[in-house]
Amino acid sequence: MNNFSYQKVSETADALDQISKCNLTQIIAGGTNIIDLWKYNLIQPKLLIDINGIEKFKRIQQTEDGGLFLGALATNSDTAYHMEVEKNYPLLSRAILAGASAQIRNSATNGGNILQRTRCYYFYDAASPCNKRKPGSGCPAKNGLNRMHAIVGTSEDCIAVFPSDMCVALAALEAVVHVVSSVGKREIKFSAFHRLPGNTPEIDNNLQPNEIITGISLPPEGFAENYSYLKLRDRNSYAFALVSVATGMKLENGLIQKIRIVLGGIAHKPWRVPEAEDFLIGKNPTAVNFASAAELILKDAKGFGDNDFKIELSKRAIVRNCIMAIHPETLRPGAQPSL
């Protein structure tokens, strides 16, 4: 029996106060990940702080610079179907709707999504060693079942992937995470939020234990003209990505003026290689050029056996998704992209 206390708060200050009282505290938002972690006995909180009463965290509103602020407690569904998101950030809307199921998206929140933990089988199996769950115990995935595991940014200690779809689009949009603690507010660039495993795979991101996410801001540029999110997985719905790609592009006189390409499902964080984007600037948006960029993005990729196929799959997914971004109308349900 794991005895715990439950506190529902309606003010940020109360949440921060509760956090400071106990070092075995967990925040619950939509509960779609934390309850699983608890049921698998991977966490044993002594104090559960329910932040769902903090109404201001549920807001989605325009920012002074013409961007959009997504409250930490806005649900994934409310975000994906929000008028401004559909109009100005359709890449984000597509990525969110590619994840989980409608029921889960109705509960899942934006703050919880970016803090969700890996789906590595060994992490969830408390009987297996796992450096992420128990530092120093080993990583059985490297020589075990690793079909879903990472091919870039891995370390000796961990080859787990970060499974979010939403975050792949947030990385492409260069979102900013807003956090608060008892010492004040702070903003974290999305590229600096999640971490590679290195020799501390137990730490997924750079949020400090005493901090709460208040929301995520999007800059004005949403790539609403030329965008695409492609998610490749074992089933066509309700499955995590084997490989996903978010592309946002701006074209001028038929040439690439700006491009973002971010991959999901292949690393411990959304995977972006600026060198590959720079290579494409000023070039024609052709399959040949996208294939060259894909080679740059995957140049250090390494498989572990079961997941070797992800290297070639990622390269093909990049080319296909960038072509689809030129013609987003091919994204209509049932439409097939013409390559």
In the complex, which residues of this chain contact ligand FAD (CB under 6 A)? Answer: 26-34, 51, 72, 76, 99-100, 104, 107-109, 111-113, 115-116, 163-166, 212-213, 240
- CA dihedral (175, 215, 50, 45) in degrees, to 10, reads 40
Please report how close the Cβ of residue 61 comes to ligand FAD at its closest, in angstroms. 17
Q: Judge whether 268 and 197 are in contact, CB under 8 Å.
A: yes
The residue count of the chain comes to 339
β-pairing verdict for 47-50 and 5-8: parallel
| Nearest residue (CB) to ligand FAD, 90 versus 111 | 111
| Least distance (Å) between residue 287 CB and ligand FAD | 28
Nearer to ligand FAD, 31 or 337 (CB): 31
Q: Identify whether the C-beta of residue 317 lies closer than 8 Å to the C-beta of residue 309.
A: no
Q: Which is nearer to ligand FAD, 224 or 239 (CB)?
A: 239
Q: State which residue, 226 or 247, has the beta carbon closest to ligand FAD.
A: 247
Task: Tell me the residue number closest to ligand FAD, measured at CB.
Answer: 112
What's the closest the beta carbon of residue 317 comes to ligand FAD, in angstroms? 16
Q: How far is the CB of 265 from ligand FAD (least distance, A)?
A: 9
User: Measured from the CB of residue 244, what is the shortest distance to ligand FAD in angstroms?
Assistant: 9
Kindly state the smallest distance separating residue 36's Cβ from ligand FAD, in Å.
6
| 142 neighbors 157 (Cβ within 8 angstroms) | no
Map 116-148 to HEC letters.
CCCCCHHHHCCCCCCCCCCCCCCCHHHHCCCCC
The two tokens of residue 136 are: 């120093």
Looking at the Cβ atoms of 27 and 188, the one nearer to ligand FAD is 27
Cα–Cα distance, 209 to 115 (Å, whole number): 12
Residue closer to ligand FAD (CB basis): 34 or 159: 34
Q: Which is nearer to ligand FAD, 16 or 324 (CB)?
A: 16
Q: Which contacts of 3-8 are long-range, i.e. CB under 8 A and separated by 24 or more positions? A: 3/46, 4/45, 4/46, 4/47, 4/48, 5/46, 5/47, 5/48, 6/47, 6/48, 6/50, 7/47, 7/48, 7/49, 7/50, 8/50, 8/52, 8/53
We find the least distance from the C-beta atom of residue 114 to ligand FAD, in angstroms, to be 8
